[in-house]
Amino acid sequence: MDRLPLVIVAAGQRVTDPAFPQGGSPDAHALTGAIDQGWAGALRPVAAVIAQLGEFLDGEVTAGRGYLPSEENVFRAFESPFAEVRVLIVGQDPYPGLGHPIGLSFAVDGAVRPIPRSLWNIYKELRSDVGVTPPEHGDLSAWTQRGVMLLNRVLTVQPGRSGSHRRRGWEAVTATAIHALADRGGPLVAILWGKDAIALEPMLGSVPVIKSVHPSPLSAGGGFFGSHPFSRANASLVEQGAEPIDWTIPA
């Protein structure tokens, strides 16, 4: 695969962005994804990096290792319209379990049971903070339809090997995305959980940041519980003249 094709949504149609030329044979393994036109423009500076990542992932498939999430979900976070993102929540990398990741940080496929413990802790804080009754599933897609971007720092992983695709180039892609949001300006709030996410704070410039330890069971008791990230994010949005986020999740 010579290039990683990205597909943009424009006027209700799927259109290939010319900044990401397609190559390879018709039978070549290829990642595709529907991303918002605004994001297609924001990611043009790293088009070459994305192409290299496509070649890397093609090699992983050829070698029999594969990758997660499924190819149509790798860029799923970028389906959220660039101009409409009001809250950015940054994760690390996808869950390494087969069938688990869906391309959105902290979320899992709705059929996954049990819910990952970090997400369960997020649900506990959600109930405590804003009174939302959590569902029995872990699909957070509803948030992305209301202005929340759930972005992992690294967008792929080898099945069963957490962190295996770090330092392959995804960090440059997601850094470009974060810088683009910061340059776009508000209304915008960033929620950063854990030291890896908090390390991104300098990229955000003047964007209000809500930060705490990670919701992992290993650290949640050290400051995640009781940190009120959801109500604080909404308060910041209101201060910026924007509508608060509806944090409810359909059952």
Q: Is 195 left (phi over 0), alpha (psi -120 to 50) or beta?
A: alpha
Q: Is 27 a catalytic residue?
A: no
Token pair 């995640």 in the structure block, residue: 224
Q: Hey, which bits of 99-235 come out as E strands?
A: 148-152, 189-193, 209-212
Token pair 């869906």 in the structure block, residue: 102
Q: Which of 17, 93, 129, 139 is catalytic?
A: 93
Q: What is the DSSP letter of 76?
A: G
Distances (CA, A) of 212 to 6, 163, 223, 228: 34, 21, 6, 10
Catalytic residues: 93
